[in-house]
Structures are given as structure tokens and as C-alpha cells.
Homo-oligomer: A and B are copies of this chain.
Amino acid sequence: MLACRSATEKTRGGAGGAASRSRRPSPRQWRPTPFHGSSPGVRMPALHDLPTPSLVLDRPRLQRNIDRMADRCAELGIWLRPHLKTPKSIDVARLLMARQARGITVSTLAEAEYFARHGLHDQFYAVPLAADKIGRIAALVRGGTTVLCVAHDADAVPAYAARAAAEGIVLPLVIDVDVDHHRSGIAAGDPAFPAMARAINAAPSLALRGIMVYAGASYDAPDTDAIAALAERIRAGGVAARDLLHREGLPCDMVSYGSSPGTFFARSLDGLSESRAGVYPFQDLFQAGLGACAVDDIALSVLTQVTGRQPALNRFFVDAGGLALSKDRSTAGHAFDAGYGLVCDEDGIPIGDLIVSAASQEIGTVTSRQGATLDMAAFPPGRRLRILPNHSCFTAAAYERYNVVDGGHEVTAVWDRVNGW
């Protein structure tokens, strides 16, 4: 079974031991933005009033997760540039910025435009750039937003330079450096790496800002020691790539590092400038399986209800299927395979070992992992349940908004999301 911590434990130190504040970055780029909650006088619904399926966000858990990562980055002495690909919400972003995050990371231009409209102007668009997206980026730049972009392939640089010049902007770029072969990026040992850096530096319409690395292979790591070892390998790879650029006389002010577990479990991130951890505000069952959080840290859930039972088959059905939960099966390789999600009561407390073991488009099938006999009388049609997701980023993407609860059943705020591209 996955770890649960006591519901009364509201705070904790970072994974690295006693917190030291001595290396905490100064909050010189911290831009506080006002918080908008629900309007006074408007009666907000409770969970039993919401249509199902709906997305529920537990604010105390969210805040605890945000605090934990902020403390951890302070311990490590690096800035935090949270990746908003998970929440895609200005209200969550405001909570993040209030804990000294420095700028934001985005995964789509829809996010970039949305957050710029809401006043967040220090952005890192952290996927390899397609040159024909520079027009939209230039519009943001002209509106006063900095959008750091990513170069991975040397053959794309001439098109970047030409499009940026045509738009009349200077486009800041970091180079995607691949250390663990998990995803995109160029190997620092590839002669094309310094050549690309020189080409970017030489182009009047481009500005070389640094590099990014990503501890993506942490998602395949067998335990937290392995994640820590990988984090060190990624850190060293990033520092070596930076040093190579410096030896070439090239600028490298930014060494961006990614992944939430890779930040929690790193023993040191010396030499890196910032973490763009993303999933940690919400957490999910996959992160719990990695040991990066406990099940009762998971702030996101899908509200659903029982629609029917099959006593002879020892299972029942809910109105949250593959669209409401996502088809992500990332816990499939874990000791605790949660199917399509872990079934909780309306308070968000897991019910035995019930999981959504099958999901068609709009119907989820609930069973006991161990085949325990279910008390069908406890699950009458209409009973409301909450499902914890395998992968928050994908589950949240099916919804337009979050229904925020403060640990109880009342919806105290409704926060929007930006989807699409």
C-alpha cells in the first residue's frame, strides 16, 4: 500500500533533512499578485450539488505541497520556476508566486498568452521551439512579456533567426541538453552543441541565455536513492555543458533543471540556477508510487457518483470513465497499480483498496485490487466518491475549471484553467 501521512500533519521539512535558510535566494523577482476568491454573498455549492464528473482541488493540500517545494528549493539554493503545465490556472500560479517562485514555465503558447494576460511576464516556454510559432511569441514580447524559448536542433536555428528578425525581436534561447536519453535535447559531447551555441550567439535576432536539462529518467527509477543518483548525473551533465560554453567564451547564465522528484530527492543542485518542477502542487498516484509524496498529499480528485452495481461480479460503476480520469496508466509499472485511479469517499479518504480497474469513455468500473468482497449496500446509486488520479496533468486537462474545497465539502472558490494550444 502507498504511504499515507496523518491528516493532522500539516507541514514538514524537505526530503534533505533539517531546513537551512542560509542559502535561500533573495526574492528580488517576486511579483505578488492579488488573490481572487469567491465573491462574498454568493452562495457556493457543496460537493453534493456539483454535476458529476467534476474536478476538485483541495486547497490545504495544495498549499502544503507548494510550501514543501519552496522550502526544498530554498534548502538547495536554487530558484523555483514552477511548470504551470499541470495547474494551467492563474489562481494556482498566484499561490506559487507568493512562495518566492521566480518566473513561470509553460508548455504551450495558450498558457503563455493566458498567464501574460494575467500579469505573469517572466516566462520560460520549455519545449523545443517550432519556428512558425515565433509570430505569437513576438506578440507577447511586444506586450512586455519575456518568453525564453528552447533550441534542440542546430538546423532549426537559421529559421529561428530569420523569423525573429522578421518580427523585429531578439529571441532569448536556451539549449535543450540531453543527459539521460529520456527525451529531446542535444548531447553536450556532440560537436553540434557548441556549434549551435555559437550560431545562436552570433545571430543578432537571437540571444543565448543558457541550457536546460531534465531528469526525466527519474520516472523509471526503482527507488528514491536511484532518483538521487540520477539527479546528480543530470546536475553534473548540466554543469559540464555550462562549463563547455563558458570555455568557448559563450554566455550561459541559466541552467534550468526539471522534474519534481528530481528536485525533492537531489542531494545537491549546485551549479544549476533554477528548478522548473511542475506536478508537485497537485501530486498524484504516480508521484506517490515514486515516493515523492504520500497519498494524502494528492490535492486533485475527480468527483463522481455510483450509477449501478453488479453484486455477482463484485463491482460497481461510476460516471467517471476514461475521459474524466484520462487514459494515463503510469502506475501500471508500480508496486501499487491503481488502474485508472484510487477510489475515495467524499472526504477524499481512500476506501479500502478500491480502484477504477477499467474505464470506457464515460463509465468507470470499480473493484477491489485484492478481490475483497464489496458491501454493495455501502455503494448505493447516487453515492458520491472522489477518485485520485494517476497523473494530475492529464486528468486536469479534461476540465475547464477547479472546484476548490478547504478540506471540507463546501466549494469555496472556482478557478479556471487554460487548455488547448
Contact = CB atoms under 8 A, between A and B. Distances in A.
B108 A362 contact: yes
Contacts of A349: none
Contacts of A317: 128, 152, 183-184
Interface string A103-135: 000011000000000000000000111111100
Contacts of A327: 326-329, 391, 394
B184 A128 contact: no
Interface in A327-385: 327-329, 358, 360-363, 365, 380-382
Given A307-B129, A382-B132, A420 B397 contact: no
Interface stretch (A39-47, A248-256, A308-316, A407-415): A308-316
Interface string A125-147: 00111111100000000000000
B400 A398 contact: no
A323 B397 CA distance: 8
Interface of A: 51-54, 85, 107-108, 127-133, 152-153, 155-156, 159, 176, 178, 181, 183-187, 190, 216, 305, 307-310, 312-313, 317, 319, 322-324, 326-329, 358, 360-363, 365, 380-382, 391, 393-394, 397-400, 419-421
- Among A54, A153, A310, A360, the most chain B Cβ lie within 10 Å of the Cβ of A153
A389 to B, nearest CB: 12
Nearest to A133: B51
Q: List the 6 closest pairs (A to B, CB-CB), nearest first.
A: A152-B308, A153-B308, A156-B381, A128-B307, A327-B328, A327-B327
28 contacts: A51-B421, A127-B319, A127-B363, A128-B319, A129-B307, A131-B381, A131-B382, A132-B305, A152-B308, A152-B317, A153-B309, A155-B380, A156-B308, A176-B308, A178-B310, A183-B360, A183-B363, A184-B307, A186-B308, A187-B312, A190-B312, A322-B394, A323-B394, A323-B397, A327-B329, A327-B394, A361-B393, A398-B419
